[in-house]
Structure 1
Amino acid sequence: MNRLETLESILERLRLAIRKNGLKNSKQREEVVSVLYKSGTHLSPEEITQSIRQNDKNTSISSVYRILNFLEKENFIYTLETNKNGRRYEIAAKEHHDHIICLHCGDIIEFVDHEIEERQNQVAKRHKAKLVSHDMKLFVVCSKCLAEGVE
């Protein structure tokens, strides 16, 4: 998916949010955002922690969880519940997209389908409502797992 913002502009917004909330500036918050931005994918708290520990051995998983909660509350990241692999996180500064999640291996595929988007708007209009947001997740058994005989 295309990025809507550079990493530096996200970090600048993060610094403003930290000040607004009366918090001390934290290199770890910036590192979590950087890891998610640079990964371009959906990471677990454990994967984020492992990545940060390559440069900072003192990073704790509990600190990463606290930071993720803050970043989600401030709309810097999105949480994706995948069922199989628990919560995964992605940077919020991407174009709108939906997800296909394999229930067997946990792989996540991002997609955009303009017909589905239009259909959702039509459904909202038919109910005299305005669509503000949606989160579509399709749970599947992916082609790789099907090839391995998983049903």
Structure 2
Amino acid sequence: MINSSYEEIIEELKKIVKQKGLKYTEQREIVLSILLHANGHLTAEEVYNQIKKDYPSSNVGIATVYRALSFLEEVELIASLNFGVDGKKYESNIKSHHDHLICTSCAKIVEFVDEEIEKRQEKIGKANKFKITDHSMQLYGLCESCQ
């Protein structure tokens, strides 16, 4: 999905839905569109509120948003960060690989890439005769404002 255009991602969604024998719905496309255009990580409620703002004539309820998010995550068009009892935040999978720093006080998320960490992970995998196919790193702590 990385470096794909909006149209290519929507076509991928249509293809996945067809392969699964499901009906294509505008609601899934709207939810995906919100995340593709988001500048950050959004909760389901934030996605819902953005839909109400950007698509006021659509008939997308909060339950539909949750179902669409679950489906889109299952087919790997989006990813989520789990905040335990505070729920999840979602982002599209079109960005290049990155890891996250997450503030446990205000829930601020900072994305980062560190080549040394990436190399070290590969080295650890090789040392353990393990082929790493994917990974997700989330570091928790307090952001500068919350310290």
TM-score by shorter chain over 0.5: yes
Match of 2:93 in 1: 92
TM-score of the superposed pair, with normalisation by structure 2: 0.92
Q: Which moved more, 1:116-125 or 1:21-30?
A: 21-30
Letter in 2 for 1:89: Y
CA distance in 1, matches of 2:137, 2:85: 17
Structure 1 stretches of at least 4 aligned residues deviating more than 4 Å after TM superposition: none
Q: Which stretches in structure 2 are left out of the alignment for 5+ residues?
A: none
Q: Alignment partner of 2:14: what SS?
A: helix
CA distance in 1, matches of 2:70, 2:4: 21
Aligned: 1:59 with 2:60: yes
When residues 84 and 106 of structure 1 are mapped into structure 2, their CA distance, relative to the original with a 3 A threshold, is: farther
CA distance in 1, matches of 2:96, 2:22: 29
Match of 1:31 in 2: 30
Q: How does 1:36-115 map to 2 (within 5 A)?
A: 36-54=35-53, 55=55, 56=57, 58-83=59-84, 85-115=86-116
Task: Give yes or no for contact 1:99–1:110 (8 Å, CA) kept in 2.
Answer: yes
Compute the displacement of 1:11 (Å): 0.4
Match of 2:132 in 1: 131
Compute the displacement of 1:130 (Å): 1.3
Compute the displacement of 1:84 (Å): 6.9
CA distance in 2, matches of 1:31, 1:76: 13
Letter in 2 for 1:5: S
CA distance in 1, matches of 2:119, 2:85: 30
Alignment RMSD, CA only? 1.4
Q: Alignment partner of 1:106: what SS?
A: coil
TM-score of the superposed pair, with normalisation by structure 1: 0.90
Compute the displacement of 1:108 (Å): 0.4
CA distance in 1, matches of 2:49, 2:70: 18
Percent of residue pairs bearing the same amino acid type: 40
Q: Aligned residues, how many?
A: 144
